[in-house]
Structure 1
Amino acid sequence: MPFSDNKLTVRSPADLVTAVPYLLGFRPSDGSIVVIASRDRRIVFAARSDLPTPSTPASQPVDLAANLIPVVRRQQPITDLMIVGYGDTDHLDPALRTVGEAFTASGIPVRELLRVTGTRVFNLDCDNPACCPPQGTPFDPTASLIAVQATAAGLVALPDRAAVAARSAPVDGAARDGIRDATRAAATRLKTVSAAGSTGVDEAGAQAVRDALRQHDGGKRLTDDEVAWLTLLLKRPSVRDLAVDLTEPNDRHVTLWADVTRRAEEALVPAPATLLAVTAWRCGDGALAAMAADRALQVDPAYGLAGLLRQALHAGLPPSVFEQAIATDRTNPSGQ
């Protein structure tokens, strides 16, 4: 995840590991590795991956580094790297050292190689007990100034990746029944509008998008009828593209598209899920953006814009490439 504006002041390894959940948007679980690139002591990129399990071949950490190195290189210019692993020493330390050595051999210096076990952080490259005691340095994320800075900056650290995925998970029960009925009624309404030609559908779509954004900005949640009508109209690439253009990179609009994605009928999920991915990406929330794009592609593996976004996120590209992706997608004959 690239960062255009750092808002956290990191002065120690304890500060760094406290900041990681806010940089990612969630707290990494044991078995995770987080690579943090900096430029002149300013964090510009962070990425998380799963470390190989102890039972996997010894070559797996090398393969992991081979995948991460080109992603980090795309963030150039960078001056150094910090690597943080989560879990117990026997599993993590050899893998972390292998990954660190691979980055160093590639010409990217590693400034910190850290392991987090519970509430203690260990520096694998320092054996000075005065600054890096062998029992680790305790840290308390809840009492840290980093947590205060992050909260003030509007950064959120969800408990885990599952909590991020839940933001775009479908509703069920009575909520699902209600949206299903509303979508049937909206489909009948759309047939009437379509009979007048595509111009009328585009005009209805533009109105629905503007109404949704205005209502949500005013603190009003969309009704089932409004969600159903909006999601049917978003199937048209022209309406979805207008929504992309009108949506702003703020938490309100992330919340809007997350809500619409959760409530949309399954076949209608790709467009709002992609809008959620775009908006989250613009806000710097790479984890949510990737999961939302995946949600769109689960329903429609050929959905063009979601695929472009997923490729960009995997490559570690910044949102500044988005306009180029949009231009490419809008000339796609598939219309998606």
Structure 2
Amino acid sequence: MTQHDESAPTSASSAAASVPAWESRTETQITLRSPAELADALPYLMGFHPTDSVIMLALHGERGRFGGRLRLGIPDNAEEWSDVSDQLAETLVAGCGKRGPRPDGIVLFLCQDPAKGETARQVMERLRPLAQSLRLACGGLDVPVYEALCISDGRFWSYCCPDERCCPREGTPLALPGTSVMAAAAAYAGIQVRGTLREMEARYAPLTGRRADEQESALDAAAADLVPRILRGTDCETVRQETLDLARLVVERFHEARPAARPEADARDDSLLAADEAAAIILGLQDRTTRDRAAEWMEGPQAPAALRVWRALARRCVGPYIEHAAAPLTLAGWVAWSTGEHPEARVALSRALSADPEYLFAQLLHRACNEGMDPELLRRCLRRERTGRVVDHERAETGTDRPEALHATAPLGAPGERNPLEEPEEKSSRETAEAQQSREALKTVDAQSATPAPAPATGARRHATTGASGAGGPGGTGGPGATSRRGGPSGGNGPAGKARTRRRTGRGVRGRQ
């Protein structure tokens, strides 16, 4: 099991939980006073309806302010529960301690719907040993579990409350959607619940059936054409430009197409992308420099279209090309994070790490997003990279170093975005300090990513997600963000750090990125 951090700072205690409004939109605080209110608040605290999940929320202070949080898929093998419980408790407590005070308590949720032929009450009883194991693990660290809830099939049970007057044996129905105090507060703050976790993950699932077969054939044909050109090394820049030009054309197409309503949106987007186009872009994005330049399409009116394109490309990574999805999934996670879609960013980056656990760019972004870092610092770095590339390009064409010769230059980055050269050349002392902060942030994140979190004895591939303590809510911002450096197979560095050779699978060509 691989551990990765995820944060969305928020704040509650089982008796009286205090939740500040997200993104500093208001100083109003919400107080959760019962297990029912805690259960109803969970989707708004996470940004989605969790499924098949263990969720742990840290509590701080006398008012029980929400701090760090952690989510992990429930292990299928009950024999793993004890070891997993120890690791989850240690991860949450240690993570909170690194960013501030240790938690004073924990609220625990076990979310799982019944299997075929199983009742919700049977789910609750089946998961009771897991709840007890987690309570013992937290207690062993001197952090009590104030409340432990099982949520299944629209009902909840408390593992801590023996009073059947408030927690009956048959469970308590959840409040109707949109009727709880948290629903009202979320609507006021502009917070949306984006369906279930399973539904969010399904948007990135590979195609199946006949379309998957067609896409695999297109990927085979594209690999036969592109891989020899990439491996020769002499044609890399041409392949990069061809990939970016094609990707830019597809982004423009998605931008011009009228967005469809869900759940038809993804099917509509799939119809806008031909199999051969998808294959060429997917293989081209395996080059780190190409991917880094595509990452510059992270803002502006066409960023939503770019996110849709990266989603569609992730769905086209089928058969033996599933690992190739790490690149478009990471780009989707980056654009989602950059545009404020934090729950989707975490889903996309988690899936990128499932496709390739050692994909360094995804590791850096996942850590930065989950620790509440500000994406603006990385955006600034990517803008500087684009500006420097434009300047170099114009100097090569004009044969002059005069700044006035560059005033008409259009950027080579995202379609439709403003010219970054319009920014003044003279940087203020504040801007200089911010640039230094950005460089130091990269050093910090690189150093943290060099030591992966310990894995438990289980052989299952899971991603535990933890959150930083502090005020705010899902999607809150925090300390310094990651920055990037240019590079690619030719020997430079990129946001992911140094490239490492990856084993050949017989189809396509990939490297550690």
- Output the TM-score relative to the length of structure 1: 0.73
After TM superposition, give the deviation of residue 197 of structure 1 in Å.
Answer: 3.4
Show the counterpart of 2:446. none
Is 2:373 the counterpart of 1:223?
no
Structure-2 change in CA distance of 1:47 and 1:239 (3 Å): same
Match runs of 1:91-110 below 5 Å: 91-110=126-145
Structure-2 change in CA distance of 1:236 and 1:36 (3 Å): same
Match runs of 1:181-260 below 5 Å: 183=219, 184=221, 188=225, 197-219=235-257, 221=269, 222-224=272-274, 225-247=276-298, 253-260=306-313
2:55 to 24, 34, 47: 34
Match runs of 1:1-336 below 5 Å: 1-4=6-9, 7=22, 11=32, 12-21=34-43, 23=46, 25-29=48-52, 32-39=53-60, 41-42=65-66, 44-50=68-74, 56=78, 60-73=80-93, 74-75=95-96, 76-77=99-100, 78-86=103-111, 88=122, 89-128=124-163, 131-132=166-167, 136-142=171-177, 144-145=179-180, 146=182, 153-158=191-196, 161=198, 163-176=199-212, 178-179=214-215, 183=219, 184=221, 188=225, 197-219=235-257, 221=269, 222-224=272-274, 225-247=276-298, 253-264=306-317, 266-267=320-321, 268-279=324-335, 283-285=342-344, 286-294=346-354, 296-297=355-356, 303-305=359-361, 314=464, 316=466, 323=482, 329-334=496-501, 335=511, 336=513
- Tell me, in whole angstroms, the C-alpha distance in 2 between the residues paired with 1:187 and 1:149: 55
Alpha carbons 1:33, 1:51 under 8 Å: kept: no
Helix, strand or coil at the partner of 1:329: coil
Show the counterpart of 2:378. none
Alpha carbons 2:299, 2:335 under 8 Å: kept: yes
% of aligned pairs identical?
22
Show the counterpart of 2:473. none
- Tell me, in whole angstroms, the C-alpha distance in 1 between the residues paired with 2:110 and 2:70: 13
Alpha carbons 2:349, 2:362 under 8 Å: kept: no
- Tell me, in whole angstroms, the C-alpha distance in 2 between the residues paired with 1:38 and 1:288: 28
Alpha carbons 2:9, 2:467 under 8 Å: kept: no
Structure-2 change in CA distance of 1:316 and 1:139 (3 Å): closer
Q: 1:17-64, CA deviations, whole angstroms, 9 ceiling, x for partnerless residues?
A: 2343452734424xx5322234552354241331676xx45xx54322
Alpha carbons 2:49, 2:193 under 8 Å: kept: no
Alpha carbons 1:24, 1:47 under 8 Å: kept: no
After TM superposition, give the deviation of residue 201 of structure 1 in Å.
Answer: 2.7
Structure-2 change in CA distance of 1:37 and 1:207 (3 Å): farther
What amino acid sits opposite 2:55 in the alignment?
Answer: V
- Tell me, in whole angstroms, the C-alpha distance in 2 between the residues paired with 1:263 and 1:117: 33
Alpha carbons 1:83, 1:112 under 8 Å: kept: yes
After TM superposition, give the deviation of residue 181 of structure 1 in Å.
Answer: 6.2
Q: Which has the larger displacement, 212-221 or 182-191? A: 182-191
After TM superposition, give the deviation of residue 228 of structure 1 in Å.
Answer: 2.9
- Tell me, in whole angstroms, the C-alpha distance in 2 between the residues paired with 1:288 and 1:188: 29
The structure, 1 or 2, with the larger RCO (C-alpha pairs under 8 Å, 6+ apart) is: 2
- Output the TM-score relative to the length of structure 2: 0.51
Alpha carbons 2:89, 2:134 under 8 Å: kept: no
Aligned residues: CA RMSD:
4.2
Structure-2 change in CA distance of 1:2 and 1:251 (3 Å): farther
Structure-2 change in CA distance of 1:305 and 1:133 (3 Å): same
Helix, strand or coil at the partner of 1:169: coil
Alpha carbons 2:156, 2:172 under 8 Å: kept: yes
Alpha carbons 1:24, 1:287 under 8 Å: kept: no
After TM superposition, give the deviation of residue 171 of structure 1 in Å.
Answer: 2.0
Alpha carbons 1:205, 1:230 under 8 Å: kept: yes
Alpha carbons 1:277, 1:293 under 8 Å: kept: no
Alpha carbons 1:4, 1:44 under 8 Å: kept: yes
Alpha carbons 1:38, 1:45 under 8 Å: kept: no
- Tell me, in whole angstroms, the C-alpha distance in 2 between the residues paired with 1:127 and 1:26: 27
- Tell me, in whole angstroms, the C-alpha distance in 2 between the residues paired with 1:135 and 1:181: 53
Could you say which structure has the higher helix fraction? Answer: 1
Q: Which has the larger displacement, 231-240 or 254-263? A: 254-263
Show the counterpart of 2:373. none
Alpha carbons 1:209, 1:230 under 8 Å: kept: yes
Q: 1:73-127, CA deviations, whole angstroms, 9 ceiling, x for partnerless residues?
A: 3144344321023454533334313311321331333232223354433333334
For structure 1, the 5+ residue unaligned runs are: none
Pick the structure with greater CA Rg.
2
Alpha carbons 1:21, 1:28 under 8 Å: kept: no
Residues matched between the structures, number: 324
- Tell me, in whole angstroms, the C-alpha distance in 2 between the residues paired with 1:304 and 1:321: 18
After TM superposition, give the deviation of residue 68 of structure 1 in Å.
Answer: 0.1
Helix, strand or coil at the partner of 1:20: helix
